[in-house]
Structure 1
Amino acid sequence: MIALISDIHGNYTALKEVLKEIDLMGIDTVYCLGDVVGYYSQVNECCEELRKRGIVSVMGNHDWYIAARSFCPRSQSVNDCLAYQRTVISEQNLQWLRSFPVFMTVGDLSMVHGGWTNPVDEYLDPSEEYFARVEGKYFASGHVHRQFATQYGDKVYCNPGSVGQPRDDDPKAAFATFDGENFFLHRVEYDIIPVGELMEEAGFSGYYYGCLRTGSKKMQW
């Protein structure tokens, strides 16, 4: 059994609760589907927790923005957060982000952040037709912050949802597990108040973290 996490986005409070649940399940192997950074203030803590545990991550679009000194073409609010994170991220964590692969394969499981047309920044619209063009049987990606697992013909796809910023109308942090044949979806409650307090200390208003209360999308992607 392995665990799949994704879209942590600097939300260390949520990450700690998810990893605590994974530990209680006795799962030693965890993979991250990208976007360790972005949005929230504890980017170093999130990077260091994954580094300490040896959790391998694929490259997410927010990871790329920081690693490549780039920016988001879709959202000023995203760029506001990125500008702050560039001032606080450590050089060690920056170099770690730059080491991320754009895809991983573990056994029969293929993993990317976005999709198999654009691994880093595709907003995947999964279908039987889509996966008929992709080699493999089991697939997992993040990016859209919505948790689900569905079979498309003889292919099985899972989005584990977002640890740090759910957008499927459920504010609980999300992750998935995979036993080699089946995906299982999990949610974990956590306290969002410390996240908001740290964002306020960093100079951000409730606009930037208010969506955490409802698990709905209030900021642009």
Structure 2
Amino acid sequence: MKIAFFSDIHANMPALEAVLADIDQQKPDFIYCLGDLVGYNVWANEVVETIRSRSIPTLAGNYDEGVGLGSPDCGCAYKTEDDKARGVSSISYTNSIISDQNRRYLKLLPRHICLDFELHAGEKLSLLMVHGSPRKINEYLFEDRPEKSLVRLMEDAGADIMLFGHTHKPYHRKLTSETDGKTRHAINLGSVGKPKDGDIRACYVLLTLDEKSSLTEAGSIQVEFVRVKYDLEKAARAVEESPLPNEFADMLRKAY
């Protein structure tokens, strides 16, 4: 079984179109979106309507939550006053352009999705999708988080495989639990529309499970990060031609 996951589109329609086209070529059995459809670019409505038209199961990201509630706060942890000012500008702009129907959709998105599988020999596997973490929609799970902390977080949530986004920096960590000896998989999807890992291409994940998949064999669960080129200049110019801060265009061009 092949499953495609993506997250953090942030109103970047050219990136979403390129990712969906690539996913369609892969012919996965299922597709899931882990949130943050809007913010930082001009195509908030178009992105939401594309996701809805394809009936892709989707979580609420912190940005979706803020816009769904009509809030002036996106729940982002900005580090500087300049970052905060740009963030206020972004969510204000998004709140001004989002349609009433799309705002209602964002407001009602679920906060997590859980899939339970039964593997060979009766082995069970629980796959949990969240935007930030199981505890908070806007908690950042960075790659350098201590292993014991991440394992404990997954055990408390009952997750053998956990997929999430929010940091815009993709990674896959295989974690051995001291409790049961199982290998748990923490997978950050990176970002479709606003990468921050120095790679300007959009990112999504393909997860493959088969009859050999097992939590006792770390390599039996296959995780592939797929990077996709898209019309980045179209996305950057759209920012520059809008009321949004031009710095958002520079972030797209440099992936930071």
2:5 aligned counterpart, secondary structure: strand
TM-score by length of 2: 0.80
Which residue in 2 is equivalent to 1:35? 36
CA distance in 1, matches of 2:24, 2:205: 13
In the alignment, is residue 165 of structure 1 matched against residue 194 of structure 2?
yes
* Deviation for aligned residue 1:208: 2.0
Asked if residue 196 in structure 1 is aligned to residue 236 in structure 2, the reply is yes
Give the structure 2 partner of residue 155 of structure 1.
184
Is 2:140 the partner of 1:110?
A: no
Asked if 1:211 is matched to 2:256, the reply is: no
Deviation digits for residues 75-106 of structure 1 (CA, Å, limit 9, x no counterpart): 22122011111111111111110111111112
Out of 80, 99, 122, which is 2:139 matched to?
122
Q: Which residue of 1 aligns with 2:204?
A: 175
CA distance in 1 between counterparts of 2:236 and 2:174 reads 37
Whether 1:82 aligns to 2:99 is no
1:118-158 Cα shifts (integer Å, max 9, x gaps): 1x110114443122343221110000000111101121011
Structure 2 letter corresponding to 1:186: V
Give the Å deviation of 1:206.
2.4
Instruction: Determine the structure 1 residue equivalent to 2:225.
Output: 185
- In structure 1, the partner of 2:104 is 95
2:35–2:60 contact (8 Å) kept in structure 1? yes
| Structure 2: gaps spanning 5 or more residues | 79-83, 117-125, 177-182, 210-220
Deviation for aligned residue 1:28: 4.8
User: Which residue in 2 is equivalent to 1:219?
Assistant: none
Distance 1:8 1:72 in 2: 15
SS of the residue corresponding to residue 51 of structure 1 reads helix
In the superposition, the TM-score normalised over structure 1's length comes to 0.92
Q: Paired residue for 2:119? A: none
Identical amino acids, percent of aligned pairs: 32
Alpha-carbon distance in structure 1 between the residues aligned to 2:159 and 2:30: 21
Residue type of the alignment partner of 1:39: Y
Gaps of 5+ in 1: 217-221
Work out the CA distance in 1 between the residues paired with 2:197 and 2:51.
25
Aligned residues of 1:127 and 1:152 also touching (Cα < 8 A)? no
- Alpha carbons of 1:97 and 1:78: their partners in 2 closer, same or farther (altered >3 Å)? same
Give the distance between the partners of 2:89 and 2:169, measured in 1 at CA: 24
Highest CA radius of gyration, 1 or 2?
2
| Alpha-carbon contact 1:163-1:174 (below 8 Å) kept | yes
The number of residue pairs the alignment matches comes to: 215
> How many Å separate the matches in 2 of 1:13 and 1:175?
15
Matches of 2:58 and 2:86, distance apart in 1: 24
